[in-house]
Copies of this chain bind each other. A is one copy, B any other.
Amino acid sequence: MRGLGATGGVGLAYGAMSTLGLAPAAGASTSAARFQAPAMGDLIGKAPGNRSVVVLGGGPAGLCAAYELGKAGYKVTVLEARARPGGRVYSVRGGTSETEIGGETQTCTFAQGHFYNLGATRIPQSHITLDYCRELGVEIQAFGNQNANTLVNYNSNTLVSGQSVQYRAAKADTFGYMSELLQKATSMGALDTVLSSDDKEALSSFLSDFGDLSSDGRYVGSSRRGYSAEPGAGLNFGTETQPFAMSDVIRSGLGRNFSFEFGYDQAMMMMTPVGGMDRIYYAFRDKIGTDKIKFGAEVTSMTNVSDGVTVAYTQDGSKKSITADYCICTVPPNLVGRFENNLPSDVRTALTAAIPVSSGKLGIEYTRRWWETEDHIYGGASNTDKDISQIMFPYDHYGSDRGVVVGYYSTGKRHLGFESLTHKQRLAKAVAEGIAVHGDKYGRDIASSFSGSWRRMKYSEGAWMSWQGAGDSHGGAATPEYELLLKPVERIYFAGDHLSNAIAWQHGAFTSARDVVTALHQRVSAA
């Protein structure tokens, strides 16, 4: 059962809370002890002395913290600058309106029921996010994160350059030639120092299947590539497509994105809520209680006072303030310095080590699902080395008469090609690049569109954070700044995905919030 060890993460976090009375004793079975979804009915402990907590930010970290604290009996107030919950979890649908910083106002006109997720869009099976969906009653469905019929299109110094190739064909050719080469090397004895004859026999058998090799160990094409004419009945055996030449396959880098599909947090199955990722945050809002969340509340100062934290904010044009026993600040680190605070200078400096990443998406509403009827694509993404990076196909409304395609989801340098443009320019560039991948139909039957660049979105000003000196990974890193921000500043705690090893994932925000709730409760209980 060794393989199952990978699934115990959530239990650890919750196990820690269990020692504080925030969770039930372990159930009858060991497996139940190893994993326990968070659940309303589980609470057996309460906050001593009716303590109050003000939570800054109504995104994943803030709402998770408020929810868990509420379950434990804390008096919680959430201040959220936007009119909606979810933060960077943002499902764009008809009526959504957004004014980018220094830019125009867009108002979305997608047909009823259609949307795309401008922020978080998919959930790995091991993330605690799915446990919250279960607990909150948020219905989930499969998210297409891999598709043999989507296309790759890369420029190279080969005959394949600029051609759109189905993933299935790119894989068949790459795996075929890779298997042929290893078969050849093995059979000529080149690897005899590391492979026994038993190894070689077993490897040869695997390669023959993996690469669909001919009996003499060569790759000469495969039905896995697909057909130019689909097999049907009778004597219609279909017409297989022909493989590219070995050198073209290798030098064109057709396989450059294959590892995405077996990355830890991207491998199928991936899940997503029915109706948009923001459904999770509307569910949190309802469970927490709308009376405890102040929308449109812009923080103007956050001050540690003698036995609490005072937060001033404006709401509906009025200046207001609140003092609570503790504060959990989930405001993006790049924006904390924007409001008055009495944080020590090392903490202020540490916050600036979190560098906002440039990323964004464009949703294109088509009145014809050409990707299904013509390209036989039901979800998943095409990939390219053009600035659009990828074209993501909808995971909902299959077989219907319209749908929203994500025309780009690009990050970093490639997103700079879009970030500074007007929406109209973004659409034009995305459509031009999309036509190069999917053909002229990509430019037809467009009903509407909506785009967003996270560095230009008020209250976020970044898609996610990259830690200075820690490279460009989606994981945290124990830099001095990161470690400093894990500690409370008197009665102020920081939380958010940027303080986790799952940056840009809701799981990171939730586990950070749960760690902070646990630490806060421990402190209160020990006092």
Contacts and interface: CB of A to CB of B under 8 A. Distances in A.
Contact of A378 (B10, B125, B232): B125
Contacts of A490: none
A125 B149 contact: yes
A375 B4 contact: yes
Contacts of A507: 232
A144, A184, A246, A378 pick with most chain B CB within 10 angstroms: A378
A35 to B, nearest CB: 5
Given A4-B166, A399-B133, A376 B126 contact: yes
A253 interface: yes
A148 B134 CA distance: 21
Contacts of A198: 247, 251
B230 A10 contact: yes
Copies in the assembly, this chain:
2
A103 interface: no
A237 interface: yes
A171 interface: yes
Contacts of A268: 144, 146-148, 268, 380
A380 to B, nearest CB: 6
A439 B32 CA distance: 13
B4 A439 contact: yes
A141 B398 contact: yes
B3 A163 contact: yes
Given A256-B209, A511-B232, A223 B140 contact: no
A377 interface: yes
A441 interface: yes
A238 B141 CA distance: 27
A233 B130 contact: no
Interface in A355-379: 370, 372-379
A3, A141, A149, A238 pick with most chain B CB within 10 angstroms: A3
A194 B175 contact: no
A141 B141 contact: yes
Given A1-B164, A138-B399, A185-B190, 8 more contacts: A35-B373, A125-B377, A126-B149, A130-B399, A142-B395, A233-B515, A234-B486, A268-B380
Q: Which 9 pairs, one residue from A and one from B, show the smallest C-beta to C-beta distance? A: A9-B230, A6-B226, A190-B190, A185-B185, A148-B267, A142-B142, A232-B511, A233-B512, A5-B228
12 contacts: A4-B166, A7-B374, A8-B228, A130-B372, A142-B378, A148-B268, A168-B262, A184-B194, A195-B247, A233-B508, A234-B486, A269-B380
